[in-house]
Structure 1
């Protein structure tokens, strides 16, 4: 490196070990497990693990890829394929939904910790940019009615069971207990009743 010039981000970093991650094999495994014909794990397992339908997942992948070029599968400087869109979105969703640490993604999707953190940040930003206008607003009357009808079909009682909540009337609640005490005297928690 020349004197007076700052090092650019990227490239090999002195002192770091190179780990040959087989992202193509991880992609094949993900596709075989969930998107193959027939998949190893059925739709019910997909819904349980991804917390959404397969169609919604594919819609999110396509929307994110269309909006942010970093989610496209590209080749790196050594002409090897990088992670696929589905791998990147899966990593971001698992970290956000389950709260798993970034290095856990390395075990399942063979994605480095720094890479998975990058895609979580990009995914969150892209989701707000793509879907924010539609889903980040307060629900209107049509949305509320649609949700009530969906819940009624599922067996949730709705307005008939909780009329005061939906009518805007105050709900009677039990009186709050007196300030808690420790052994009946003025202890750590405050004055006695």
Structure 2
């Protein structure tokens, strides 16, 4: 990360957590500085090294280095979660919809997938619950990412023996939408009106109105063209996982801590720092080369905030999210829309 971002994080963490304040110990000797403690924590996150390795570089013992890491990740989660681990607001949704429309996927809000994080020091009594298809002890992260690698949704902590559908059933990804607190969209594809955004997903996900899945064995030019485009743009979340693991090696290899809550704090802190770095290094055009000034002049999907529903409205909204007919119609309309764009070009 850039020096300015590091100093910003240091000042916020030092102001929030007294542990990082540079002070004298019981015998009047200056203790470790905030710079030493935060550098230790960030090096353990970025390089995935063991706590005792810090003694050679920063003269910090193993127990203190581990304490620094736990205090740091908790402070980062407490300070920056509301800003960097939040759902998209109206402006964010408008930008995501504009990017999705430029790609041919009207109403797209990102892509969704799951990642497994290996847990080396998992308790022996929990091994059966954490062993999945890869025959490793893992913990699952469900995430939604956009084209710019920003992670908008993160649900972490479910046992590795679950698959993506089990994680989805436990996840809170559609809670705001079902309860009427999420912005409502209005857009039209092929003459059909839709009021919910959707995520690009793998074939394992259910046929819900909020998912557009890949066609496993496409037949015909239209379906093949759609399958190729869906696969390309559906990889945004895979790219985000790759960049997250490249930036923070601790979430790439087997993790060491024994406590599950510590692992949750580490994962959340890494995602928050990833989003902070993404924001700091963001280029408005990016790889998409989109003219946002022209996009703002064109009327697109309208965004409005729904009111809080009653019980019956909540049940109806829940059924709308899981509507298979809407899923099939949406996918069919997108196939025709993408083929029309391809034919005109």
Choose from 161, 165, 174 the match for 2:216: 174
Report the CA distance shift for 1:93/1:170 in structure 2 as closer, same or farther (over 3 A): same
Unaligned runs of 5+ residues in structure 1 are 1-51, 150-156, 177-193
Confirm or deny: 8 A CA contact 1:61 1:86 kept in the other structure. Answer: yes
Which residue in 2 is equivalent to 1:104? 53
* Larger strand proportion of the pair: 2
Question: Is 1:71 aligned with 2:13?
Answer: no
- Compare CA radii of gyration and give the structure with the larger one: 1
Match of 1:88 in 2: 37
CA offset at residue 159 of structure 1?
4.1
Task: After TM superposition, give the deviation of residue 81 of structure 1 in Å.
Answer: 1.8
SS in 1 for 2:212: coil
Name the Cα RMSD after superposition: 2.8
The whole-number CA distance in structure 2 between the counterparts of 1:163 and 1:141 is: 19
Contact preservation (8 Å) 1:164, 1:171: no
Correspondence 1:134-145 to 2 at 5 A: 134-145=83-94
Map residues 112-131 of structure 1 onto 2, 5 A cutoff: 112-131=61-80
Q: Does 1:53 align with 2:2?
A: yes
Matched position secondary structure for 2:86: coil
1: distance between equivalents of 2:76 and 2:94? Answer: 26
Higher relative contact order (CA 8 A, sep 6+): 2
Are residues 102 and 138 of structure 1, via their aligned partners in 2, closer, same or farther at CA, if it must alter by over 3 Å? same
Task: Determine which of 88, 91, 105 is the counterpart of 1:163.
Answer: 105
CA contact (8 A) 1:165 1:171 kept: no
How far, CA to CA, are the matches of 1:53 and 1:111 in structure 2?
A: 24
Counterpart for residue 11 of structure 2: 62
Give TM-score scaled by structure 1 length. 0.52
Tell me if structure 1 keeps the 8 A contact 2:52–2:62: yes
* Aligned length in residues: 118
Q: Which residue pairs with 2:303 in the alignment?
A: none
Distance 1:142-1:74 versus aligned 2 partners, 3 A rule: same
- Aligned position for 2:247: none
- Asked if the contact 2:44–2:50 (Cα under 8 Å) also holds between the matched residues in 1, the reply is yes
Measure, in 2, the Cα distance between the counterparts of 1:162 and 1:101: 46
